[in-house]
Amino acid sequence: MRYLTGRNAGSRIRSGRVGAVEAVVDVFRNDAGSATMPAYACGALRNLSGSIGENVALSGTADAVDAVVAVMRIHADSTHLQECTCGALRNFTTGKEQNNSWAWIAGAFEAVVAAMRRHAAHKELQKRACGVLRNLITSSEVENET
């Protein structure tokens, strides 16, 4: 799924319309005990939600934000999985206020900061995590909290 949707906007749109986002989120529910399958699922969700507004919205309605944050907490020691989850969250929170709101509620900000601290030497994870924090900090959700 990740490679079918990665570079083709039309494929991402069609995939979202037939329920691909929801199917991938089911991987989190069915295989959360392993770090391997959720990492693949995050890659697919990252591509499905990247730059296509409809799928970014679908990713939120499919409980993807909650699923990603939950798997971050379960597999806090997996650098690879934390990098994948930060990539997915970065795409979820890019320009989509509803997803930003869900991310705040799910505790994404705290989970991302914890991943940054635990994996401080991993540059790609840090880059993706900074993207998530930037998106969340600049969202109107923060303005509503203050």
* Residue corresponding to tokens 């923060």: 142
Indicate the residue type of 47: N
pTM, two decimal places: 0.79
* Residue corresponding to tokens 């679908």: 58
CATH number at residue 21: 1.25.10.10
Q: List the domain range (segments joined by +) for residue 125.
A: 2-138
- Whether 117 is covered by a domain: the verdict is yes
- Whether 144 is covered by a domain: the verdict is no
Length of the chain: 146
Domains: count for the chain: 1
Q: Number of helices and strands (H, E) in the chain?
A: 11, 0
- Whether 145 is covered by a domain: the verdict is no
Structure tokens at 111: 């989970």
- Whether 143 is covered by a domain: the verdict is no
- For residue range 94-133, list pLDDT tens digits in order: 877 888 888 999 999 999 999 999 999 999 999 999 999 9
- For residue range 32-73, list pLDDT tens digits in order: 778 888 888 888 888 777 655 554 555 555 578 888 999 999
